Amino acid sequence: MFGLFKKAPTEDEQYSEKEFFSTLKKLEAAPPAAIVAIAVALEFVMDMFQSKYPSISKFALQSKQARMDYLTSLLDAEKEFEKQGKPEYSVAAKLFGLYLSTFMSTRMTGQAEMFNAISYILQNRKLPK
């Protein structure tokens, strides 16, 4: 009954999930070696995150401004990696940033699915099916 009063997520709140899975879909055409490189880059991006925040829950507890600042730094890193000719690191920063951006809203969508996709890539060095 109380679920009737819940607001559906806005388009902005759903953007991260849609963009995340759209990016994964585009990567399906990439050769396996590129996916392995993205997995390694994703580990690097996550290690950098963990050097600042020991866990996702610690990140989620930060002020909205602190979370926004970190997401901005990831976007800057994504662009810098692209300039340096490191597209695998750019893609990794984008995927992880899209996942983290779901922590900016109280009505989060797609977190579990995105987390599972990242975990799968890291563990298997290939895209989830």
Q: Give residue-wise pLDDT tens across range 4-44.
A: 555 666 676 688 889 999 999 999 999 999 999 999 999 99
Domain assignment of residue 81, yes or no: yes
Res. 105: pLDDT tops 90: no
- Distances in whole angstroms, Cα of residue 3 to Cα of each of 6, 12, 38: 5, 21, 39
* Contact call for residues 43 and 122 (beta carbons, < 8 A): yes
- Domain span at residue 39 reads 31-124
**Predicted confidence band at 111 (pLDDT cuts at 50, 70, 90)?**
confident
Domain assignment of residue 24, yes or no: no
Domain assignment of residue 20, yes or no: no
Domain assignment of residue 78, yes or no: yes
Nearest to 52 by CA among 34, 71, 39, 36: 71
* Contact call for residues 45 and 92 (beta carbons, < 8 A): yes
How many domains does the chain divide into? 1
